[in-house]
Amino acid sequence: MADNPAPRARPLMDIATFKENFGEIWAKQTYLCYEVEVLEGDAWAPMEERQGFLRNQGADTPWEPRRHAELCFLDRVRSWRLDRGKHYRLTWYISWSPCPDCAPELVTFLRENSHVSLHVFASRIYSFFSGYERGLRDLQDAEAQLAIMTLKEHQHCWETFVDNQGQPFEPWPNMEEDIRAHSQELEHILRNPEN
């Protein structure tokens, strides 16, 4: 059982959804788990009411316009009207890294909101369309912190965002090798502007 169980007031992701989207199955949906912290003195304080998860919209609901998870989150954070006199850290655990269409909108958001920093932990890299490398480098240039989710981040998501019913997190076969491969790919992208 997690040391800090998730508050029951907010919805939790079911186990199958987590495994399908953050595990080895590679579902086509994008899920984004998020946490918001505010700087109080020298320490970051969690804002538990600003913690949850969402997914892209419209792929399986024809009545909704299509919108990627990252942009759905931007809609949500804008509605919070965060105090510009304070500094906030947004941490994402996302099943796919931002795509080439979302990256510019995230860069614009970060440049317009200097009181907000963004840390992105991606389960895998979205590399389906050209331009994804440039988008990731632009995010890094806008001071977003980008990394691949390690075992630690997967376990944190399991304990914080998943209705795990007291089950411990179990890594999938070859998980550490997958993490190493994705991490090397991301490092190569961020260090090589000619991509």
- Whether 70 is catalytic is yes
Q: Give the residue from 56, 31, 26 showing the smallest Cα distance to 127.
A: 26
- Tokens 């890094």, residue located: 140
Q: Which residue out of 37, 40, 64, 70 is catalytically annotated?
A: 70
Q: What angle do CA 70, 34, 174 make, to 5 degrees?
A: 90
Q: Going by DSSP bridges, is the β-strand pair 145-148/88-94 parallel, antiparallel, or unpaired?
A: unpaired
Pinpoint the alpha helices (H) of the chain.
15-22, 69-80, 102-112, 132-141, 151-161, 175-191
Active centre residues (catalytic): 70
